[in-house]
A = this chain, B = another copy of it.
Amino acid sequence: MRIGVLTGGGDCPGLNAVIRAVVRRAEVGFGDELVGIADGWRGLLEGRTLPLDVERCRGILPRGGTILGTSRTNPYAAPDGPARVLATAAELGLDAIVAIGGEDTLGVAHRLAAEGLAVVGVPKTIDNDLAGTELTFGFHTAVQTATEAIDRLHTTAESHDRVIVCEVMGRHAGWIATYAGIAGGATAILVPEEPFDLDEVCEVLRVRHAKGRYASIVVVAEGAVPKEGTLTLAAAELDAFGHPRLGGIAAVLAPEIERRTGIETRMTILGHIQRGGSPTAFDRVLATRFGVAAAEAVHDGAFDQMVALRAGQIVRVPLAEALAAPKHLDPELLHGVADWFRG
């Protein structure tokens, strides 16, 4: 068979490990020919490909990023987009496509499958908010990076009796904030799923610091929002989404916490370092298993499906099911665990 491979959406540690595994399993195991598609769906719109074989995948396992490039291009937003994608796939002689991406990329895959494209999905989201799979690769790497940063913030906060607000990724989901917050021993964890009450947070900080010299870390997901009426964000500072224009939510919270508690407060915004770097061993293994399973799904003709992790096993899940709704943060984690570590 002749199989195209593409990566779409934001980049994520482990993409290269998936690509390498698809290629290894398909070329060595099935004798397939592989075609690299450049920059996600855009590559099929524009007919741009890259040579892809076992030799070209040497050494990429531990590397972040994606050797295929990526984009957020949606063919359904382009004139004649879907038709051009199908035409390019036919011209390239592709029998199937492995699409590695998140909600958007897999949403396109699902719609194109309905139009006849033979496509297998591999779920990718650093935010871990994709349904149908217990975990996605890249998530643990992002959590590890954020946790190491929080570990560092602890030692500096301790020396100065400070609060430090640490902003992590998560526009719609609090998974990274919750995991990194628990792993980093945060005093408060603010997530998009539950509007936060800043007075409550400040009260916890006041009680804690009244007991003596302590470092306190407040982990906040970039998409966390205050409970109505508890924190006014000056209009001038907001972008179109109601988030602070410069800095982020942390840039608003830090001075406000200092004002309300009287405790010196600093902030840090981790940003893109959470998407970069070498994937953790865990993510490399998960990404490799996903890649192997995707190549096998192609040979089983299991199209319009994605590979997924459930109870330690790799399974196949219809794309429709995975795309039905985002995976909300487990409340057991947020309250059952994090609550006891606030004081």
Contact = CB atoms under 8 A, between A and B. Distances in A.
A247 B236 CA distance: 15
Given A151-B276, A158-B65, A312-B330, A284 B340 contact: no
Interface string A255-281: 000000000001111111101111011
A319 interface: no
A123 interface: no
A322 to B, nearest CB: 16
A160 B267 contact: no
Contact of A156 (B152, B236, B275, B341): B275
A254 B151 CA distance: 28
A282 interface: yes
Nearest to A11: B159
Interface stretch (A86-94, A198-206, A285-293): A285-293
Interface of A: 7, 10-11, 13, 15, 21, 24-25, 28-29, 54, 61-66, 69-71, 134-135, 140, 143-149, 151-161, 164, 179-180, 182-185, 213, 236-237, 244-247, 251-252, 266-273, 275-278, 280-282, 284-285, 288-289, 292, 310-314, 330, 332-333, 336-337, 340-341, 343
21 contacts: A11-B159, A13-B155, A21-B340, A28-B340, A62-B185, A63-B155, A64-B156, A65-B156, A65-B158, A140-B281, A147-B284, A148-B281, A152-B272, A153-B272, A157-B272, A180-B281, A183-B285, A282-B282, A289-B337, A292-B336, A314-B332
